[in-house]
Amino acid sequence: MPVVTVLAEPHPDAAGLVSAVADAVAQALGLGDGDVIATFVSAGPTAVSGSAAAAVAWPVVTIHGSDRGTAKMDAARAATEASVRSWMSAHAVEHEGVWSEWLTSTPAVA
């Protein structure tokens, strides 16, 4: 069961964002209802090196799950990026891009 975190600037419809992301991951991996969990984490101020001015945030999507092979993991990452971009466009939320990653657990050392 993949667990997804979406780190982005606070928004009143954050629940809609994580719902869209969870559905995108489920569809990309061929999973059903209830097979993906997604949660929203509010980001604080964003800065860019060399500037004291506030910067436009990059939403960060992290998928935590077992190794499903490169093709499926890449498809899920691409689906989350597209889902976040679409949601942000529909809600007129400015962003520079979307960062996504898939993290697998470290194997236990005997």
Q: Is residue 24 part of a domain?
A: yes
Q: Label residue 90 by pLDDT band (50, 70, 90).
A: very high
Q: Is residue 82 part of a domain?
A: yes
Q: Is residue 108 part of a domain?
A: no
Cβ atoms 54, 91 nearer than 8 A: no
Give tens-digit pLDDT for 37-64.
Answer: 999 999 988 888 888 777 888 899 999 9
Which position has the token pair 């629940």?
Answer: 15
Q: What pLDDT is stored for residue 110 in this prediction? A: 63
Q: Is residue 76 part of a domain?
A: yes
Q: What pLDDT is stored for residue 92 in this prediction? A: 93
Give tens-digit pLDDT for 5-44.
Answer: 999 999 999 999 999 999 999 999 999 999 999 999 999 8
Q: Is residue 109 part of a domain?
A: no
What is the 8-class DSSP label of residue 103?
E
Q: With a cut of 80, say whether residue 109 has pLDDT above it.
A: no
Q: What pLDDT is stored for residue 76 in this prediction? A: 97
The CATH number linked to 81 is 3.30.429.10
| Separation of alpha carbons 45 and 58, rounded Å | 11
Q: What pLDDT is stored for residue 105 in this prediction? A: 84
Q: pTM value? A: 0.89
Domain count across the chain? 1
CB atoms within 10 A of CB 3: 15
Q: What pLDDT is stored for residue 56 in this prediction? A: 82
Domain that holds residue 25: 3-103
